[in-house]
Structure 1
Amino acid sequence: MGKTAITTDTALRLARFFNTTPELWMNLQVGYDLTIEAERNRAEIERIPSATLHETPTFHH
């Protein structure tokens, strides 16, 4: 079976046909894309250092 991403045009048509919203279909596509990319690039992404937030200063009276 072919693997074609849902386009905005397709999302609009599916939303009309299934009485949903185009955002539903686009969000499903984005979720799928993120999952595939996360799996494909897991090792490279894990090597990126994450920013750390500094703790809020504690004031002593």
Structure 2
Amino acid sequence: MRVLLFIVVMALSVGSCWTMGQAFAYPEYGAYIFTAGVLGATLAFGLASRWNRA
């Protein structure tokens, strides 16, 4: 279970960083893209804290 959570957290972390970077490439949708990246990062940190308690 810990390995699966680690893979999910790492994928979400990388994906959210990439998404936040894409927000600057597409300024017309930047706020929506950046918000999605922040939500992904928040979810990743939430899962990481869950992983530490598991």
Please tell me the TM-score bracket, short chain as reference.
0.3 to 0.5
**TM-score w.r.t. length of structure 2:** 0.42
| Higher helix residue share | 2
Higher RCO, 1 or 2 (CA under 8 Å, sep at least 6)? 2
Structure whose CA Rg is larger: 1
